[in-house]
């Protein structure tokens, strides 16, 4: 699923756009008076962005002319749809739970008009994370979830009581 | 050179109950993580690093070195038992190891891999002990131009060997270097890519970046094939340690593989997997029965396992003396130095000899403990392969998040880790190697400092960069490393043509 050639070309275009934007940002970096004796602050980022752009440009050229860069012409990014679904779903679940921990929980509280008083937002995010990730990976055996919740509590105890971490 | 007081301090720091418990714990955890497919030394080390924040340096480095050594060895267990190499370093072991296992000689294969790993590890520890002080003495003469040359050497070699595309590797090395320019410019004080947020003032933090690139991206990659079931026959799990007579028969292969592994460990970018392959190929080339390789040859197990563990001491040589890590795992070990405000290099040898002695002696102890733990725990360790990935991977993710949050107390650091994880996932799926990215990220600050200081002292002349004997030697070595093979081939061709 998805040939390496197509995926790499799309990635290269994104990277070139990002490199261009970062170079534009770097152009406005100023060197304070105390740094006058050295090279300008923007010198190194700009040189490196140029280097990155040239390297990407050459591997794009290889894909366009030879069809591969490093003999990956016949390869695909994902072995099949189920693999792609599991990988991307796991990624989405992780990002969603992090968003809930960081902002989403509070937003939900204010939208619903009440506070999660029994368990704090980080607690909900922490408890849900491992089982939700396992579900996204395709786990359908009930005892996996029991083990994950038990291990989550153990890990919490190790950090909170062993290392003195104060989750928030 | 010998400092009795430093040795005494090292021994008193090492032989405390807490350090010894950590040493044994590190070996056990290392074997367990090494056994699990996909989770190699970098993942093991990045998960353990947050726990070292609250420790003194000696216990923390002993824990990390134990995990590093044992996780390389642990990879061989799953390679032999299930033909699934736990780490890249065990790929070469899988063929012969699993063939022996299926022939009912699993105990012999497991014994050879354990013995080879321990001997390789001990050999490289001796080499480290002898050569590290000498290299540190040389490194004491290094200035910005020499450090720049070392960085160029390290990066170029990593790019050359990591991944299949040179340009993809160069792009990743460039991105790794560029990411270190974020934050306040240490030389001029100017702001770079701070996006108006104080979180970026000190740049992208090493720990969240490394954990994201190694552990989090591995969770996403592993998620794709998390439902794969692994089965194997448990009747051949009784380990048989080779006796003196057998070892005497194999001593040539052991010595050669130890030397190969240690030397390859020293060369930046090569690492345990390359050492294992090289040693395997060399023994096959020298063998009277090369056809037996791949079908259950004991030397096909012994050689790669000796070589891959011998890279540990080798990789520590440039890491400790120059602060230049050769492998991603060594880059994470540098993190342990940074956490304790220690800068590896010649100064550390002068001022903190106790730390160096603790590392040498620690490596010896680790290998001895690995022999004992490996002997008794192999049956149990092999069973760990059966633990479903749908349990292991979510817990790796949870540990990563908790570890980063515990050490930084910042959700921003967790976000950085996740961003690095997503980026790592993307580039790995697209066939990029993460090694140039990580080595570039670790070397970025030294590289920029060396470059800018060199250009300032040379008043803008690039030619002055080469006006240093040590630097010239390093550049010549780089040239030979990159083009020596091709030149040699051409010379041989010309020689053949003349005949």
User: Hey, how many other C-beta atoms are within 10 angstroms of the C-beta on A79?
Assistant: 11
Whether residue B69 contacts residue B24, with contact meaning beta carbons closer than 8 Å, is answered with no
Inform me whether the pLDDT recorded for A37 exceeds 70. no
Query: Which residue bears the tokens 């080779």?
Result: B242
**From B178, B430, B448, residue closest to A4, measured CB to CB:** B430
- Kindly report the pTM of this predicted structure: 0.86
Burial pattern B289-303, b for ≥16 Cβ within 10 A else e, equals eeebbeebbbbbbbb
Which of A70, A152, A164 lies nearest to residue B163, judging by beta carbons? A70
What is the pLDDT averaged over residues B52-69? 91
Residue B391: list chain A partners with CB under 8 A.
134, 139, 144, 147-148, 151
Q: What does the alpha-carbon distance between residue A138 and residue B390 come to, in Å, rounded to a whole number?
A: 8
Cα B167 from Cα A62, distance rounded (Å):
9
CA B439, chain centre distance (Å): 11
To test the contact with chain A by mutation, choose from B49, B148, B156, B181 the residue with the greatest count of A C-beta atoms within 10 A, namely: B181
Please report, rounded to a whole number, the percentage of residues in chain B having pLDDT higher than 90: 33
By CB neighbour count within 10 A (0-12 exposed, 13-18 middle, 19+ buried), where does A150 fall? Answer: exposed
Cα B406 to chain center, whole Å? Answer: 25
**Which is it for the CA torsion B355, B357, B360, B363, positive or negative?**
negative
* Cross-strand pairs, B192: B183
pLDDT tens per residue, range A145-166: 999 999 999 999 988 888 788 8
Tally DSSP H helices, then E strands, for chain A.
Answer: 6, 0
Position with higher pLDDT, A73 vs A91: A91
Separation of alpha carbons A128 and B484, rounded Å: 55
Query: How do the domains of chain B map onto residue ranges?
Result: 4-143+207-415
Cβ of B235: how many Cβ atoms within 10 Å? 9
Q: How far apart are CA B97 and CA B284, in angstroms?
A: 15
Give ∠ CA B153-B155-B157 in degrees, rounded to 5.
65
Q: Where are the domains of chain A?
A: 4-65, 81-162
- CB atoms inside a 10 Å sphere around CB B341: 7
Among A78-82, B174-178, B264-268, B329-333, the minimum mean pLDDT is found in B264-268
* Model pLDDT for residues B149-183, shown as the tens digit of each residue: 888 888 887 777 667 788 899 999 999 999 999 99
Closest CA to A140 of B227, B149, B28: B227
pLDDT digits (tens, 9 = 90+) for B302-337: 999 999 999 999 999 988 888 888 778 888 888 888
Comparing CB atoms, the residue among A11, A58, A131 nearest residue B426 is: A11
- Separation between Cα atoms, residue A128 and residue A149, nearest integer Å: 8
How high does pLDDT run on average in chain B? Answer: 87
From the number of C-beta atoms within 10 Å of its C-beta (0-12, 13-18, 19+), residue B20 rates as middle
CB under 8 A, 24+ apart: contacts of B458-466:
B464/B145, B465/B145, B465/B148, B465/B149
pLDDT digits 0-9 by tens, B435-456: 889 888 988 888 888 888 888 7
Question: How many CB atoms lie under 10 A from the CB of residue B171?
Answer: 28
Contacts of B421 in chain A (CB under 8 A): 94
Task: Using CA coordinates, name the residue in chain B closest to A98.
Answer: B415
Instruction: Give the Cα-Cα-Cα angle B73, B79, B83 (nearest 5 degrees).
Output: 175
Strand partners, B191: B184
Size of interface A-B (CB pairs under 8 A): 202
Q: Do B168 and A69 lie within an 8 Å CB cutoff?
A: yes
Of A87, A155, A164, the CB nearest to B223: A87
Residues of A in contact with B170 (CB under 8 A): 51, 55
Min Cα separation A17/chain B (Å): 14
**Highest mean pLDDT of the ranges B369-378, B454-463, B486-495:** B369-378
Specify the pLDDT at position B499.
47
């Amino acid at each position: 699923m998805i040939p390496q050639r197509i995926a790499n070309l799309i990635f290269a275009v994104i990277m070139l756009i990002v490199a261009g934007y970062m170079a534009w940002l770097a152009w406005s970096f100023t060197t304070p008076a105390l740094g006058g004796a050295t090279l300008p602050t923007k010198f190194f980022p700009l040189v490196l962005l140029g280097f990155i752009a040239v390297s990407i440009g050459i591997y794009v050229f290889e894909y366009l002319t030879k069809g591969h860069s490093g003999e990956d012409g016949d390869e695909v990014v994902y072995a099949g749809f189920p693999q792609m679904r599991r990988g991307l779903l796991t990624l989405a679940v992780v990002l969603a739970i992090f968003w809930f921990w960081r902002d989403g929980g509070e937003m939900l509280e204010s939208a619903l008009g009440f506070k999660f008083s029994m368990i704090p937002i980080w607690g909900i995010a922490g408890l849900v994370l491992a089982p939700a990730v396992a579900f996204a990976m395709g786990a359908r055996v009930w005892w996996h979830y029991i083990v994950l919740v038990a291990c989550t509590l153990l890990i919490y105890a190790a950090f909170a009581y062993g290392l003195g971490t104060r989750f928030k | 050179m010998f400092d009795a007081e430093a040795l005494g301090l090292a021994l008193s720091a090492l032989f405390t109950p807490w350090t010894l418990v950590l040493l044994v714990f590190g070996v056990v955890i290392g074997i367990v993580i090494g056994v699990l497919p996909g989770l190699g030394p970098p993942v093991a080390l990045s998960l353990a690093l947050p726990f070292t924040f609250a420790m003194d340096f000696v216990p923390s480095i002993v824990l990390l070195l134990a995990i590093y050594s044992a996780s390389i060895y642990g990879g061989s267990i799953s390679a032999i038992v299930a033909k699934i190499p736990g780490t890249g370093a065990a790929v070469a072991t899988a063929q012969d190891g699993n063939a022996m296992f299926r022939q009912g000689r699993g105990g012999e294969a497991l014994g050879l891999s354990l013995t080879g790993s321990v001997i390789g590890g001990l050999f490289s520890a001796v080499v480290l002990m002898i050569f590290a002080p000498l290299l540190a003495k040389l490194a004491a003469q290094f200035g910005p131009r020499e450090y720049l040359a070392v960085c160029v050497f390290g990066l170029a070699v990593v790019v050359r060997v990591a991944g299949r595309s040179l340009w993809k590797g160069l792009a990743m090395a460039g991105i790794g270097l560029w990411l270190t320019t974020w934050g306040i410019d240490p030389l001029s004080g100017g702001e770079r890519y701070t996006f108006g947020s104080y979180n970026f003032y000190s740049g992208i933090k090493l720990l969240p970046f490394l954990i994201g690139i190694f552990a989090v991206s591995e969770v996403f990659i592993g998620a794709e094939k998390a439902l794969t079931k692994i089965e194997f026959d448990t009747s051949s799990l009784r380990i048989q340690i080779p006796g003196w007579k057998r070892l005497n028969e194999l001593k040539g292969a052991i010595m050669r593989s130890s030397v190969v592994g240690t030397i390859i460990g020293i060369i930046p970018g090569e690492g345990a997997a390359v050492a294992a392959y090289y040693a395997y190929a060399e023994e096959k080339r020298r063998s009277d029965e090369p056809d037996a390789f791949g079908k259950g040859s004991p030397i096909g197990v012994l050689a790669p396992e000796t070589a891959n563990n011998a890279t540990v001491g080798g990789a520590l040589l440039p890491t400790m003396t120059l602060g230049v890590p050769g492998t991603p795992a060594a880059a994470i070990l540098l993190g342990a130095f940074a956490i304790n405000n220690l800068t590896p290099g010649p100064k550390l040898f002068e001022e903190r000899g106790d730390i160096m002695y603790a590392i040498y002696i620690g490596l010896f102890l680790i290998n001895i403990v690995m022999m004992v733990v490996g002997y008794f725990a192999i049956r149990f360790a092999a069973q760990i392969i059966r633990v479903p990935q749908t349990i292991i991977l979510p817990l790796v993710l949870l540990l990563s998040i908790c570890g980063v949050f515990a050490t930084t107390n910042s959700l921003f650091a967790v976000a950085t880790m996740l961003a690095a994880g997503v980026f790592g996932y993307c580039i790995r799926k697209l066939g990029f190697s993460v090694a140039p990215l990580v080595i570039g990220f670790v070397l970025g600050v030294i590289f920029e400092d060396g470059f800018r200081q060199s250009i300032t002292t040379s008043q803008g002349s690039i030619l002055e960069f080469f006006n240093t004997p040590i630097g010239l030697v390093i550049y010549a070595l780089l040239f030979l490393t990159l083009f020596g093979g091709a030149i040699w081939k051409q010379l041989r061709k010309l020689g053949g043509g003349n005949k």
